[in-house]
Amino acid sequence: MSIEKPVRFFASPGGTLSGRLRVPGDKSISHRSIMLGSLAIGETRISGFLEGGDSLATLAAFRAMGVNIDGPDAGRVRIQGVGLKGLKAPADALYLGNSGTSMRLMSGLLAGQSFDTTLTGDVSLSGRPMLRVVQPLISMGARIDTQAGGTAPLEIHGTAELAGIDYSMPVASAQVKSCILLAGLYASGTSCVTEPAPTRDHTERMLAGMGYPVQRQPGRVCIEGGHTLNGIEIDIPADISSAAFFLVGASIAPGSELLLEHVGVNPARTGIIEILQRMGADIEVSNERDVGGEPVADLQVRSAPLHGIDIPAELVPLAIDEFPVIFIAAACAQGRTVLTGAEELRVKESDRIQVMADGLQTLGINATATPDGMIIEGGALGSGCVDSHGDHRIAMAFSVAALRARGEIEILNCANVNTSFPGFVELAGDAGLLIDVR
Ligand code: S3P
């Protein structure tokens, strides 16, 4: 599937979710496994790799820079790492599709290469803000040209002159933090990042797992350039951001009971569980274990009556990708839900505040977009046609809404579901959510 071919979902109303399922591998960890595996010495063997458009774009980019990568084959990938200095100049610009994570993280590590690269993406990615990574990289000595407006294509002129930085991030962004840490691998001295609120720490965990020294304190991480990474085995857990659609679906569809297996429950990612539990959801976290340095658990969810809440601001970065489907939960809850402090949602794959408010209104819900969030009065979901604007998580969120809708929901521009959740329609169908693709 690609964004050029319009794909429409027709989600049938009603139904119940049941059974046990394992959603595809974590997108954030899949990207990092390719990047760090490529820069390591020796072989990295990955299982559970997400074979979605975004992580495949990262994989293709490293192949184009001369890294020998086998797979993916049923989630298995083998990388022959080339070491920190072993990448080669790609023949062409690196096309990263819809993937902000690829572009922002790779900007950091490409800034320190001995060759130049150009990074391009689709229409959505070409409109997303890149100065948040380019400005701190320039303070480290990087040479990067953006388009007017600070967007891609990015022209990165590699340099051996990067120097460490002590950077206090104005926004809580794991992509910005990771970008600076990856540039820090190539910089002289020490690079430190302080974050205004906790963000996902998969980069730090994987660097440490590969034997790279990382100094961590609460809210701050430092790395010194010039050490080496060693290839390892990486078992990637199921993506909690994909599990989120089923956590909400089973909560709102009466009579549901679902077990989601082997889900990554990194504490910087579990805001969705906490928010849903505060709304009254029945979610049990069991069998908690450590898998290669990342916490993993099984999640049992049963339907339950939800009520509206004021979402605490400190939970926003811990659930940043889950708000489209949290808005669906709020639409099905009794009373009012208020989200504030989430202006970042306006610069995701789409403006997730406006696009979700528009879609909810089409379905008869009283939803008011605010500059940094939304006010939603729970109510009865009707039927109608909504536009996902090519945003994968919005297409899946409105699919899940059908479980409680009075009639069919038609969703436009769904091709990008494949960027993060290949097989969504089939897996949802197995669990009890019927979606016709046309
Ligand atoms: C990601 C960080 C988040 C998240 C994105 C993946 C990552 O972005 O929304 O889907 O893998 O580091 P921000 O850093 O912009 O918050």
Q: What are the domain boundaries of the chain?
A: 9-25+237-437, 27-235
CATH 3.90.1580.10 fits 27-235, yes or no: no
Residue 1's pLDDT is: 38
| Reported pTM | 0.98
Distance (Å) from CA 321 to ligand 1 centroid: 8
Q: Whose CA is nearest to atom 10 of ligand 1?
A: 321
Query: What average pLDDT score do residues 23-29 get?
Result: 98
Work out the number of other CB atoms within 10 angstroms of the CB of residue 150. Answer: 15
Pocket (CB within 6 angstroms of ligand 1): 28, 101, 173-175, 178, 200, 320-321
Centre of ligand 1 to C-alpha 173, Å, is 6
Closest CA to 257 of 437, 17, 60, 58: 17
pLDDT of residue 40: 98
165 alpha carbon to ligand 1 midpoint, in Å?
21
Domain 9-25+237-437 has what CATH class?
alpha beta
- Answer whether residue 3 shows pLDDT above 90: no
Q: What is the pLDDT of residues 243-297, one digit of tens each?
A: 999 999 999 999 999 999 999 999 999 999 999 999 999 999 999 999 999 999 9
Which atom of ligand 1 approaches the CA of 105 most closely?
12
Give the burial string for 69-91 (b: 16+ CB within 10 Å, else e).
bebbeebebbbbbbebeebeebe
Amino acid 4: pLDDT: 59
Q: Are strands 336-339 and 366-370 parallel, antiparallel or unpaired?
A: unpaired
Query: Closest Cα to atom 4, ligand 1: which residue?
Result: 321
Torsion sign over Cα 113, 181, 288, 429? negative
Q: Give the phi and the psi of residue 339 in degrees, each rounded to 5.
A: -115, 130
Q: Do domains 9-25+237-437 and 27-235 have the same CATH topology?
A: yes
Distance 101 CA to ligand 1 centre (A): 6
Q: What is the arithmetic mean of pLDDT over 414-418? A: 97
Whether 321 is a known active-site residue: answer: yes
Q: Is the dihedral of CA 374, 375, 379, 385 positive or negative?
A: negative
Measured distance CA(56)–CA(164) in Å, rounded = 30
Quick one: pLDDT at residue 2? 42
Q: How far apart are CA 347 and CA 357, in angstroms?
A: 15
Amino acid type, 275 = I
Measured CA distances, 148 to 130, 151, 250, 274 (Å): 11, 7, 45, 40
Question: For the chain, what is the largest distance between any 2 Cα atoms, rounded to a whole number of angstroms?
Answer: 61
What's the rounded mean pLDDT across residues 303-311? 98
Exactly one of 321, 351, 358, 387 is catalytic; name it.
321
Ligand 1, residues 175, 207, 351, 392: which to mutate, most atoms within 8 A of Cβ?
175
Q: Which tokens is 228 given?
A: 């080496």
Cis peptide before 6 (omega within 30 of 0): no
- Spatial separation of the C-alpha atoms in residues 356 and 22, rounded to whole Å: 27
Q: What is the pLDDT of residue 320?
A: 98
- Identify the band that residue 5 occupies on the pLDDT scale cut at 50, 70 and 90: confident
Nearest alpha-carbon partner for 313 in 336, 358, 283, 344: 344
The mean predicted confidence, pLDDT, of the chain is 97
pLDDT of residue 135: 98
